[in-house]
Chain A
Amino acid sequence: MRLFIALLALIAVQLTGPVAAQSGMPPAPYAYTQLEDPALEAEATALMHTLRCLKCQSQSIADSDAPMAGDMRHQVRSRLLAGESADEVRDWLTQRYGDYVSYEPTVSSTTWPLFAIPLLLLALVGLVLLRRLGKRGSHADGAA
């Protein structure tokens, strides 16, 4: 089903210009080149998988041929190489493109329910289980 959506994105890409394979500009150096240091490259890959390709539909920059994804991969790799931490790179990108670029939501005034609701859920689950299973069957009602 994901393909149905991917296709919508690709149609949109077509309207805006030629597809990736035919674009004239060569990709940035680190768009398709790995870092020498395997540990650093692993960190970069992990980070890239949690950043959204803004020109695509529901794809991370690690999963896209779009030129913009390539540019962002270059940014991630070259910044990590320059000594920045993964969090600093993510911060730099979110400052530039907004929270939307990061697939890792952080607690903020707009996202707190994403964290509060699971906690509530945890309490609810505990309550349901306690009511349903906690009484060793003595008063357990069949219709929980």
Chain B
Amino acid sequence: MIAELGHAALWLATALAVLQMVAGALGLREMGLKNANAGVVALARPAAVVQAFLATLAFFLLLYAFAITDLSIKLVATNSHSMKPFIYKLTGTWGNHEGSMLLWVAVLALSGGLLAGLERRLPEKTMSATLSVQGFVALGFYSFLLISSNPFERLPLPAPEGSGLNPLLQDIGLAIHPPTLYIGYVGLSVAFSLCMGALITKQVTPDFAKVMRPWVLGAWVFLTFGITAGSYWAYYELGWGGWWFWDPVENASLMPWLAATALLHSVSVLAARDALRTWTIMLGVLAFSMSMLGTFLVRSGVITSVHAFAVDPERGSFILALLGLYIGGALVIFAMRAGYIAEGKRFTATSREGALVFNNVMLSAILAIVLLGTLYPVFTEVFDVRVSVGPPYFNPAGAIFAIPMFVVMAIGPLLRWKDDKPARIQFEMMMLAAIAISVIALVAFFGSYGFLPILGLAFAAALGVAALLPLRGRKLSRVPTATYGMVMAHFGVAVSLFGMASESAFTAEKLAAVSAGGQEQVADWTIELESVDPIAGPNWTAVEARVIATRGDGESVLLTPQARNFWAPSQATSESALLTTWDGQLYAVIGDSAGVDANGNPRWQLRIWWKPFVTFIWYGGLLIAFGGVLSIIGRLQVDLRRRSAIKRGKERREDAEAIGSSAAPEPAE
């Protein structure tokens, strides 16, 4: 019954998406006149809200089916197991194609519903157009789900037992990473619809930007957090201590983030200065396009192999068709409307807008590099030429644009809006340059490291200081919350950059075959293998090493890395053991048995890394995300304050029976 209910809810939601689309479109034709369609037009908002409820219901029904391991449902039988720990039964709901697409669609409907239910600031016509586009986008993905990826399909006969979830996914990371990333991906759909709505009704205004900003910020916060969580998950779960590999799947999440980062800066300029109108629209289209492209790359199987995609092209071509439809449609509307969008306010190169434009171009260029490096191997594989594009390509090619970006990022926030003289911030620029140069000199003096890691350390130091400079000389209690958000996010970039550079430059590695009682040295740590014992968990057996780590003369700490063997499905994983200190992480993995030593005692492969300040990568990511949260809070505060001020003013005016229609002036931040 559960499966049928869920399936029916999805079909109903699809029907409502059609209604939303049609009602929204009719709202455009009306021109404010009374006509027979007025009743239908008013249905767009409720259609979106009810749809959100239905799609969420469908998702929770699937969640319930996984919770009780309903083996009559095909998806549950192929991806779950009755003996699995409960939490992984739940998270397994989205640890597969159909379930994760249902989550995608549920989040899409939910954000559409929130937009329809909460947003009252936009002109009604723009809102109609926006909801219509949102309904159109939702319709495409409902169809995809129902036609080619139905999560509620029943088996003719219930399976006696499920096949289980991949052990690598049986981790708390699966509970956090995909949902946050999906909320970010799909939150950008609202930005896309709003852009389209504003474009269709020619309302690309600061007010529109203010409506869009919290959505962009929100999606961006989730994307940032999702990428950070995913990076840390891969780092500890895969057992080799890598945190970023420019893997196509990683790139698929990075590209929307780059576009969203550019978009959120652009939308801020539009809101505050009424400049960059077309930029903002283009970036809004680009950001959601990258979300869809990411979904296509991950979900079509095209990354695993073009040939795998060619053998079973149904899903991939479906998403590809949607991708073409939405991006193409957006570009057509853009081309038709671009001439109508009046020019925004002007500014010079040496202004804050100028710096933001520069960095938006840099972000877009980095995005282009990532896109090229990700898609090119897929492209050549079609012609049976296989090439690999990895870190040796992405790092330098990305750095070409990242280096100037970091320079401008350091000084941009110190510039004034509209026009400024660089001479005014001469002292700050000299100081930052001095910091960077002394770090380079210092690091290069004490050892020989790669060019990019050294540069990374220098930029991290300079950026860390530069991020705090906007607070200099200001009364801290009067600085707007949103400005604190910016400061924190920029500081987070410096922190993260420091972690990356430090990990690349200073990591110490020790691989050794050790018997019980054997000692090894890595950096200033002494590692002793105390014993190796068998151990069993709910759905796995393992060997567990007891490793004593001592730093210098300090206290000893016990680490217990495991080599696990799961039995459903049968697979081996390494459970790394991490020891976190303030200045880095000790990373221990136990591998295979490695024969016997001279005395006939069994030996085991140990892999130990000392990674100085590696944790700063993710601390930085969290700071960036938290900066975004502060920014949202700040904007909402201002908005609420203004709304209540407007309300009070209105009441006063009504009391005086006077008519005033001028909007409150927008303070430049």
Contacts and interface: CB of A to CB of B under 8 A. Distances in A.
B36 to A, nearest CB: 38
Given A5-B304, A142-B277, A49 B391 contact: yes
8 contacts: A7-B168, A58-B248, A63-B245, A103-B388, A128-B361, A137-B347, A137-B349, A142-B346
Interface stretch (B230-238, B467-475, B487-495, B610-618): B230-238
A72 B468 CA distance: 47
Contacts of B168: 3, 6-7, 10
A76 interface: no
A62 B343 CA distance: 53
A2 B243 CA distance: 11
Contacts of B572: 19-22, 65
Among all A-B residue pairs, the 3 with the closest Cβ atoms: A103-B390, A142-B343, A142-B344
Contact of B376 (A2, A33, A34, A114): A114
Contacts of B181: 1
Given A105-B389, A133-B349, 20 more contacts: A1-B178, A1-B230, A3-B237, A6-B238, A10-B571, A14-B570, A21-B572, A33-B512, A58-B247, A60-B242, A65-B574, A104-B393, A121-B365, A122-B365, A125-B361, A125-B401, A132-B361, A133-B357, A142-B346, A143-B278
Nearest to A5: B249
Contact of A57 (B239, B304, B385): B304
A80 interface: no
B187 interface: no
Contact of B372 (A1, A19, A20, A117): A117
Nearest to A19: B572
A65 B574 CA distance: 10
B248 to A, nearest CB: 7
Contacts of B511: 32-34
B594 A32 contact: yes
Nearest to A114: B376
A11 B79 CA distance: 13
A129 B277 contact: no
Nearest to A12: B304
A1 B388 contact: no
B389 A114 contact: yes
A144 interface: yes
Interface string A110-134: 1101100110011001001100111
Given A6-B168, A33-B513, A34-B510, A125 B365 contact: yes
Interface string B568-602: 01111010000000000000000110110000000
Contacts of B386: 98-100
Contacts of B391: 49-50, 103
A1 B304 contact: no
B365 A62 contact: no
B387 interface: yes
Contacts of A60: 242, 245, 390
A140 B373 CA distance: 33
Interface of B: 95, 166, 168-169, 173-174, 177-178, 181, 230, 233-234, 237-240, 242, 245, 247-250, 252-253, 275-279, 298, 303-304, 338, 341-349, 354, 357-358, 361-362, 365, 368-369, 372-373, 376, 380, 385-393, 397, 400-401, 419, 509-513, 563, 565, 569-572, 574, 591-592, 594-595, 605, 607
- The B interface is mostly helix, strand or loop, or mixed, namely mixed
A114 B375 CA distance: 10
A118 B303 contact: no
Contacts of A118: 369, 372, 397, 400
Contacts of A26: 594-595
A102 B357 contact: no
A64 B240 contact: yes
Contacts of B419: 137
Q: Which of A58, A104, A143 has most chain B Cβ within 10 Å?
A: A143
Contact of A20 (B276, B277, B385, B592): B592
Contacts of A128: 361
A22 B564 CA distance: 12
B253 A1 contact: yes
B270 to A, nearest CB: 10
A46 B240 CA distance: 14
Contacts of A58: 245, 247-249, 303
Nearest to B97: A4
A99 B386 CA distance: 7
A140 B346 CA distance: 6
A91 B358 CA distance: 40
B358 A99 contact: no
Nearest to A98: B386
B389 A65 contact: no
Contacts of A142: 275-277, 342-346
A10 B170 CA distance: 14
A3 B253 CA distance: 13
Given A1-B298, A5-B247, A110 B574 contact: no
Nearest to A26: B595
Given A142-B277, A143-B277, A3 B234 contact: yes
A80 to B, nearest CB: 15
A7 B169 contact: yes
A32 B591 contact: yes
A132 B347 CA distance: 10
Interface string A44-74: 0100011010000111101111000000000
A104 to B, nearest CB: 4
B234 A2 contact: yes
A144 B278 contact: yes
B566 to A, nearest CB: 10
Contacts of A103: 388-393
Interface in A75-105: 98-105
A40 B361 CA distance: 40
Contacts of A3: 168-169, 173-174, 233-234, 237-238
A1 B347 contact: no
A32 B237 contact: no
A36 interface: no
A14 B249 contact: no
B202 to A, nearest CB: 13
Contacts of A136: 348-349
B390 A52 contact: yes
Nearest to B275: A142
A101 B278 contact: no
A63 B391 CA distance: 13
Given A2-B249, A105-B389, A133 B372 contact: no
Contacts of B343: 141-143
A142 B344 CA distance: 4
Contacts of B249: 1-2, 4-5, 58
A1 B388 CA distance: 19
A58 B303 CA distance: 9
